Chains A and B, each alone.
Chain A
Amino acid sequence: MANVMEIYQLLPKTNCKECGKSTCMAFAVDLLARKVSVNDCPPLVNDAKYKAGYEKLSEMIAPVGEVTETGLIVHEDKCIGCGNCVVACPVDVANDPLGAGSGKAPTSDKVIFKVEDGVVKARNVQECRRFGENKILCVACIDTCPTKAIEFV
């Protein structure tokens, strides 16, 4: 996964502020967190001399539909809908022990993961153990994914 310095190195590094951020570094941080997209940097898009950087960044920062508040991203193109994360997530087990926790389709609205049309969707992310005051570095959904379709940014 990309880190902020790698991203920064590919930006124009002119601190032109056209994106609304005060520095390119600030933009890089937001880009890593998917709060902005590569296309939000006008010089990168429009200036031919940054073309290589633009292409590299576009590849690096895989376009994602939605980044959840905990920074959880599901790469839908990689997801096979196996439901390992649905069943392994400790929050899902606690909130739906007889459904998701027992391997079956979730029967509660309080689960974080549900598979829909063969791809997992994350919701209720405020319940994720990586979030909130007592957050811990839980990796249950990442470690159990056979195709590395889940990442946290």
Chain B
Amino acid sequence: MSEYYVCTGCALLCDDIEVETENGKVKTVHAACRKGVARMKGCIDSLECTVDGEKTDVESAIAKAAEILGEAANPLIFGHGNSSSEAQKLSIALAKKVGAYLDDTSSFCQGPIIEAILQEKLKTCTLDDIRHKADVIIFWGADPSNSHPRHLSRYSYFPRGKERQRGWEEDRTAICVDVRKSETAIICGDNRFYKIPMGEDAEFMDALVSALSSKVPKTSFGFDAKKILELANVLKKAKFGVICVGLGLIYSLKDLEPLFRLMDKLNEVSDFNIMPMVGQYNMRGFNQNLYEETGCINRVKYSPESGEAEHGPEFSVVEALRNKTVDAALIIGSDPLSSLPLSVSRYLAEIPLISIDPCRNLTSSRSNVTIPCALGGVEYGGTAVRMDGVDVELKKIIDTDNLPDVEILKKITEAI
């Protein structure tokens, strides 16, 4: 035990994991959190290779998948957050080849924040910067204790860093803004928890901007102005601040303008950065890879004739399914029938559907073609991008008979 592996349980991509194996299986995992361990040990419902519900060999399944995608006029390729960057790039090329709608989970979660970061509309930093420097950390609509269990211990609150040598009690202030007292809010403490009504994040942000401008902050929901002024004072004094943006905040904002206003003000009076609390381990990788290729992070439709990419909300997975504008779908490492509103995703079962995943899920159980793939970071390596944009090299731990998704995608593309 001296080699470190990377956990792919979430986009923290913890790279200090030691693993003991036995009979070709992961037996004991050191340092990973509860959910990371479950990811690395793998699921109990392995996906089988099938076409129309009948077991088959992988070559036949790949041939059928190629046939479906080749015949479709407007196929959808969706997933990608649990794939290596290498696989994502092949997926982008495949979408271009068949003129597909191409999207990922960021489309209905962290997308707007990642886009603003890549377009340099929001100032950001790395997780290591946070560990070494951050003295004021705001978890806004985020509950990393449940979504990214090691966020606070590895980076944002408890560890010692170069400029944070004295421990969290003296050196750091953790603040939580949320509609409910989450487990993260409990750790921040009652004095540092700001409970706001549902959907009022924008107004609270503007009140905070007022307070930072030494004006009396007012909210329609009567939040104690003294408490907002006191918060503003803490933020003003920050040497290196960070706002960790969770889904609670993103879903509450109609657009990012209130966040831009707050960040502008904070960077006038202090130094603040944004950290997107990305869920799937390589969602940011997909956004960056597509951005390099098209200038868009998601929601793309390739023209089958010109190969040009169009971008817009109408090409998002949600609108494409709602409007039934796609006529076949390839799902890679994702389970939209679980993660999207059923009212939207139900349509997937009406069209030719292909699933590539290590495990059985609701989407695979409705798929015409299912192709099992190796589990990223455990059964094959590759590159992934951490939530802060840092590249992380994944390493294979154990063998499998399943092909990695990168191989499957290559073969499907060749067969079309």
Q: State whether these chains interact.
A: yes
Chain A residues at the B interface, C-beta cutoff of 8 Å: 79-84, 86-88, 90, 93, 97, 101-106, 114-119, 144, 146-147
- For this complex, 30 residue pairs linking A to B, each with C-beta atoms less than 8 Å apart, are A80-B34, A80-B35, A80-B145, A81-B149, A82-B153, A83-B33, A84-B157, A84-B187, A87-B158, A90-B167, A93-B160, A93-B167, A97-B160, A103-B155, A104-B16, A104-B154, A104-B159, A105-B30, A114-B30, A116-B29, A117-B28, A118-B33, A118-B35, A118-B37, A118-B38, A144-B168, A144-B187, A146-B145, A146-B184, A147-B145
Q: C-beta contact mask, B147-163 vs A, less than 8 Å → 1, else 0?
A: 00110111101111100
Q: In the complex, what residues of A have CB within 8 A of residue B145's CB?
A: 80, 82, 146-147
The answer to whether A87 and B159 touch (CB under 8 A), given A82-B150, A146-B184, is yes
Known: A80-B145, A82-B150, A82-B153. A116 touches B28 (CB 8 A): yes
Closest Cβ of chain B to A138, distance in Å, is 12
Contacts of B152 in A (CB 8 A): 82, 84
Q: Does B18 contact A (CB under 8 A)?
A: yes
A81 with B37: CB separation less than 8 A: yes
Q: What is the 8 Å Cβ interface bit string for chain B, positions 126-164, against chain A (1 contact, 0 not)?
A: 000001000000000000011001101111011111000
Which residues of chain A come closer than 8 Å to B198, judged between CB atoms?
A: none
> A118 is contacted by which of B29, B146, B154, B183 (Cβ under 8 Å)?
B29
Assess the A88–B168 pair: CB atoms within 8 A.
yes
CB distance from B194 to the nearest CB of A (A): 18
CB–CB A105/B155 < 8 A = no
Contact A82 B149 (CB under 8 A): yes
User: Given A79-B34, A101-B160, A105-B18, 10 more contacts at CB 8 Å?
Assistant: A80-B33, A80-B149, A81-B34, A81-B37, A82-B33, A84-B158, A88-B168, A93-B160, A101-B159, A146-B183
B376 within 8 A of A: no
Closest 6 CB pairs of A and B: A103-B159, A105-B31, A118-B34, A118-B37, A146-B183, A81-B33
**Do A81 and B32 have beta carbons less than 8 Å apart?**
yes
> Closest residue to B185 on the A side, CB-wise?
A146
Q: Which of A102, A103, A115 contacts B33 (CB 8 A)?
A: A115
Determine the chain B residues whose CB is within 8 A of the CB of A144 once the complex forms. Answer: 158, 168, 187
Residues of B close to A105: CB separation below 8 A: 4, 16-18, 30-31
**Residue picked from A93, A116, A117, most chain B C-beta under 10 Å:** A117
Chain B interface (Cβ < 8 Å from any Cβ of A) = 4, 16-18, 28-38, 131, 145-146, 149-150, 152-155, 157-161, 167-168, 183-184, 186-187
Assuming A118-B33, A118-B37, is B153 touching A103 (CB within 8 A)? yes
Choice from B146, B154, B167, B184 contacting A83 with Cβ under 8 Å: B154
Output the least CB separation between B237 and chain A (Å): 24
Q: In the complex, A147→B143 CA distance in Å?
A: 13
List of B residues within 8 angstroms of A87 by Cβ: 153-154, 158-159
**Cβ contact of B158, chosen from A80, A103, A114, A117, cutoff 8 A:** A103
Chain B residues, Cβ within 8 Å of A101:
159-160
Is B161's CB under 8 angstroms from A102's CB?
Answer: yes
With a CB–CB cut-off of 8 A, which chain B residues contact A119? 34
Let me know if A115 and B155 touch, CB within 8 A: no
Chain B: CB-nearest residue to A90: B167
Residue of B17, B30, B36, B146 with most chain A CB atoms under a 10 A cut-off:
B30
Q: Is A103 touching B37 in the complex (CB atoms < 8 A)?
A: no
Residues of chain B within 8 A (CB-CB) of A82 are 33, 145, 149-150, 152-153
Using Cβ atoms and an 8 Å threshold, which residues of chain B touch A115? 30-33
Indicate if the CB atoms of A86 and B153 lie closer than 8 Å: yes
Considering the chains assembled together, what is the distance between the CA atoms of A85 and B34 in angstroms? 15
Docked CA distance A77–B160 (Å): 28
Complex Cα gap A81–B17 (Å)? 13
- A117 & B186 in contact (Cβ 8 Å cutoff): no
Query: Residues of B contacting A102 with CB < 8 Å?
Result: 131, 159-161
A86–B32 CA distance with the chains assembled, in angstroms: 12
Q: Once bound together, how far apart are the Cα atoms of A117 and B17, in whole Å?
A: 11
| Complex interface: chain A residues within 8 A of B146 (CB) | 80
Q: Which of A82, A83, A119, A147 has the most CB of B within 10 A?
A: A82
Residue of A nearest to B187 (CB): A146
Shortest C-beta distance, A106 to chain B (Å), equals: 8
A105 vs B158: C-alpha distance in the bound complex, in angstroms?
A: 13
Contacts A103-B131, A105-B16, A117-B37; A147 near B158 (Cβ below 8 A): no
Smallest Cβ distance from A93 to chain B, in angstroms?
A: 7
Report the nearest B residue to A101, measured CB to CB: B160
Chain A residues whose CB sits within 8 angstroms of the CB of B158 once the complex forms: 84, 87-88, 103, 144
A74 to chain B, nearest CB (A): 13
Q: How far is the CB of B405 from chain A (nearest CB, A)?
A: 26
CA–CA, A106 and B152, complex, Å = 16
